[in-house]
A and B are shown apart, each in its own frame.
Chain A
Amino acid sequence: MILLVVQTLNGFQLGMLLFLVAAGLTLVFGVMNFVNLAHGVQYMLGAYLGVTFAQMAGGFWAGLVLASLSAGLFGLALEWLIFRHLYGRSDLDQVLATFGVILTLNEGVRLIWGSAPLELAMPRLLSGSFALMEGLRYPVYRVAIAGLGLAVALLLAAGVHRTRAGMLIRAGASNRDMVSALGVDINRLFRLVFGIGAMLAGFAGVLAAPLISVEPGMGENVLILAFVVIVIGGIGSIRGAFAAAIIVGLVDTVGRGAITGLAHLMLTGPAAAKVGPALASMLIYLVMAAVLALRPAGLFPARA
């Protein structure tokens, strides 16, 4: 029971991080139909810059702000340098070029910061833990991540659903040519989306940094989970990304525990210890398959 509470909280917190990465990705897909595999790089870059800036500027918070902004700027630079030349091109070209960008930047990070994992200290304000219930303490920082993620999600939802720019983004996602024909500079709009998306991924990277080890290639694991989130939620939909991020986060933590427990109930001895972990690691992909089998366009498709 206690374990379930902790796993649910962890799942929610993972979901919030995934949402931050998936939000930018889904909007970029939605508006520009652009496959950006290099989005995970922003997450990694955010974490590395967070470590560096926190050392230089002396503190987690300064690191968080500076790293998020730099990650956003770096994303815009990449967009200007490479990605904007790929918009009209096939999915295949986009995948290959962004694959090249990942290889380059992962190695660049290794060159600058080295291969050894780095660590980022938690801010002192949030480094404690509190009593969740009797005999169970839960770290404040994880709750803070979930809270910050939720706040950003609400802000983003308000931005997309309540502002003029958000309206244009939604319009662009459902019919780009029509929006363009109505006199909206779709490329400028897209740069805005891209910059914000890159910044959010960087932000998520810094937030995650104190919980994980910061190392080259860390972006891709998150990226593929973010893909799963987008596929489940429906491409281009912020609401879908939010719901799916929480589903994936919960399934990956709660489901993992449940499956291992179930395997021990159904099978005995060494067989359970073998089947459990294998099945648990496949769980979110099986959920994805199940959703797709029922609703190929995802839970909340942006295009009707």
Chain B
Amino acid sequence: MNRALPWAIFAALALVPLLSALGVIPGGYLPLLLGRVMVFALAAMSLDFILGIGGLVSFGHAAPLAIGAYAVAILDANNVQDALVVIPVAVLAAGLFALATGAVALRTRGVNFIMITLAFAQMVYFAAGSLADYGGDDGYTLYSRTTLAGWKVFDGRAFYLTALITLFLAWLFLRMLAASRFGRTLAGIRQNRPRMAAMGFNAYAVELAALVIAAMIAAIAGVLLANEAEFVSPAYAGWARSGDLMVMVILGGVGSLHGAILGALLVVLAQEALGGLTSHWPLVFGPALVLAVLFLRHGIAGIGARRG
């Protein structure tokens, strides 16, 4: 059942625009919301790769997301909207950021690593706020969405499909990576670092590479997010966003990759539903999170997996 679950999720996501075109389910709002879910799922999935498989608890994964989004904004302000430029720039910038900060953060373990990644994300938050040309603290509204060699693949209904295809490809890629020699080594380091080091693996280099790959994927999610909202602001790098991504990973079940989609679905829908009921929705979401940590140990994707 669990082997089929990710395929079932993607099939369901692919059916939504079809069904709404046929009028079976309401169009308009639901595909928009699911588009947003898939963007966050992409970021959460990349976090799950380092967190679940690599055991690297990064509390700063909103930073590469924001860097990707700001790449869109800064290029847009300079009248560059082609994805063939935007995406490489975003990916490269986030990768370099992860390389530099990861090189420092990986010198520490555990709690220190959590705090340092959080601090570096906060650095991005403040740096973004000081970009006066790109809106500063108020954020930046895009002139126009990104295009792919002239195609408007980030507009309207096409956005849903672009997000879905990107998410699917990322899932295939990360799944392949997790099963590869590199992924096995990474998982081995999580389980027993000294042993892997004794076997001759360079644990530091493997973990750093994982951080860079995850940041690059998060940057693509950032490009999508900027287009989805047509807006970019320092809050994208805020600690609450990093926390949200982590919650998605945990609720979905750590290390499963596809669980991140369920987690993102749950978090975005819960915030949307609670937000519609009361503006004080964190008063419900917060305690629910505490209770989930205390009592629900393996996430929603884990409920089936543990019994099977």
B250 in contact with A103 (CB, 8 Å): no
Per-residue interface assignment for chain B, residues 246 to 274, with 1 indicating a CB less than 8 Å from any chain A CB and 0 otherwise = 11001000100000000000000000000
Minimal beta-carbon separation of B284 from chain A (angstroms) = 9
A93 in contact with B119 (CB, 8 Å): no
B131 in contact with A99 (CB, 8 Å): no
Chain A residues with CB under 8 Å of B254's CB are 92
| CB<8 Å pairs between A and B, sample of 14 | A33-B111, A96-B293, A97-B293, A99-B243, A99-B289, A100-B286, A110-B280, A274-B133, A278-B127, A278-B130, A282-B123, A285-B120, A289-B104, A292-B108
- Across the interface, name the chain A residue whose C-beta is closest to B101: A289
Chain A residues with CB under 8 Å of B281's CB are 107
B289 in contact with A95 (CB, 8 Å): no
Which of A54-62, A173-181, A224-232 has 4 or more CB atoms under 8 Å from chain B?
Answer: A224-232
Per-residue interface assignment for chain B, residues 107 to 132, with 1 indicating a CB less than 8 Å from any chain A CB and 0 otherwise = 11011101110111011001101111
B290 in contact with A97 (CB, 8 Å): yes
A277 in contact with B130 (CB, 8 Å): yes
Check B277 for interface membership: any CB of A closer than 8 A. no
Which B102-160 residues have a C-beta within 8 angstroms of A? Answer: 104-105, 107-108, 110-112, 114-116, 118-120, 122-123, 126-127, 129-133
Check B1 for interface membership: any CB of A closer than 8 A. no
> When chains A and B are docked, how far (Å) is the Cα of A192 from the Cα of B35?
49
Question: Which of these, A111, A273, A282, contacts B126 with CB under 8 Å?
Answer: A282
Per-residue interface assignment for chain B, residues 277 to 308, with 1 indicating a CB less than 8 Å from any chain A CB and 0 otherwise = 00011110111111001100000000000000
Check B59 for interface membership: any CB of A closer than 8 A. yes
A281 in contact with B287 (CB, 8 Å): no
Minimal beta-carbon separation of B241 from chain A (angstroms) = 12
B114 in contact with A35 (CB, 8 Å): yes
A224 in contact with B239 (CB, 8 Å): yes
A85 in contact with B294 (CB, 8 Å): yes
Chain A residues with CB under 8 Å of B115's CB are 227-228, 230-231
> When chains A and B are docked, how far (Å) is the Cα of A102 from the Cα of B283?
10
Knowing A97-B294, A235-B112, A296-B107 are in contact, say whether A285-B289 is a contact too (CB < 8 A): no
For the complex with contacts A281-B130, A289-B120, 8 further pairs of A-B residues with Cβ separation under 8 Å are A82-B290, A89-B293, A92-B246, A104-B282, A111-B280, A224-B119, A278-B127, A282-B126
Chain B residues with CB under 8 Å of A280's CB are 130
B239 in contact with A104 (CB, 8 Å): no
Question: Which of these, B107, B122, B129, B289, contacts A224 with CB under 8 Å?
Answer: B122
Check A108 for interface membership: any CB of B closer than 8 A. yes
> When chains A and B are docked, how far (Å) is the Cα of A93 from the Cα of B112?
15
B293 in contact with A281 (CB, 8 Å): no
Minimal beta-carbon separation of B116 from chain A (angstroms) = 6
A292 in contact with B104 (CB, 8 Å): yes
- Across the interface, name the chain A residue whose C-beta is closest to B52: A92
A103 in contact with B127 (CB, 8 Å): no
Question: Which of these, B111, B126, B130, contacts A35 with CB under 8 Å?
Answer: B111
Chain A residues with CB under 8 Å of B126's CB are 281-282
Per-residue interface assignment for chain A, residues 268 to 283, with 1 indicating a CB less than 8 Å from any chain B CB and 0 otherwise = 0000011001101110
Minimal beta-carbon separation of B64 from chain A (angstroms) = 16
Minimal beta-carbon separation of B290 from chain A (angstroms) = 4
Per-residue interface assignment for chain A, residues 1 to 39, with 1 indicating a CB less than 8 Å from any chain B CB and 0 otherwise = 000000000000000000000000000010001010000
Check A288 for interface membership: any CB of B closer than 8 A. yes
| Total interface residues in chain B, CB < 8 Å | 45
Which A104-130 residues have a C-beta within 8 angstroms of B? Answer: 104-108, 110-111
Q: Residues of B with Cβ closer than 8 Å to A?
A: 51, 57, 59, 101, 104-105, 107-108, 110-112, 114-116, 118-120, 122-123, 126-127, 129-133, 239-240, 243, 246-247, 250, 254, 280-283, 285-290, 293-294
Minimal beta-carbon separation of B75 from chain A (angstroms) = 17
Q: Give the secondary structure class of B's interface.
A: helix
> When chains A and B are docked, how far (Å) is the Cα of A103 from the Cα of B132?
30
Question: Which of these, B51, B101, B282, contacts A106 with CB under 8 Å?
Answer: B282
A101 in contact with B131 (CB, 8 Å): no
A107 in contact with B119 (CB, 8 Å): no
A107 in contact with B294 (CB, 8 Å): no
> When chains A and B are docked, how far (Å) is the Cα of A237 from the Cα of B110?
17
Check A133 for interface membership: any CB of B closer than 8 A. no
B293 in contact with A100 (CB, 8 Å): yes
> When chains A and B are docked, how far (Å) is the Cα of A92 from the Cα of B115?
12
Check A293 for interface membership: any CB of B closer than 8 A. yes
A285 in contact with B283 (CB, 8 Å): no
Question: Which of these, A110, A224, A274, contacts B132 with CB under 8 Å?
Answer: A274
Minimal beta-carbon separation of A232 from chain B (angstroms) = 10
Which A202-241 residues have a C-beta within 8 angstroms of B? Answer: 220, 224, 227-228, 230-231, 235
Chain B residues with CB under 8 Å of A91's CB are 57, 110-111, 114
Question: Which of these, A86, A92, A107, A235, contacts B57 with CB under 8 Å?
Answer: A92
> When chains A and B are docked, how far (Å) is the Cα of A35 from the Cα of B254?
19
Question: Which of these, B110, B116, B290, contacts A292 with CB under 8 Å?
Answer: B116
Which A62-108 residues have a C-beta within 8 angstroms of B? Answer: 82, 85-86, 89, 91-93, 95-97, 99-108
> When chains A and B are docked, how far (Å) is the Cα of A292 from the Cα of B103?
10
Chain A residues with CB under 8 Å of B111's CB are 29, 33, 35, 91, 235
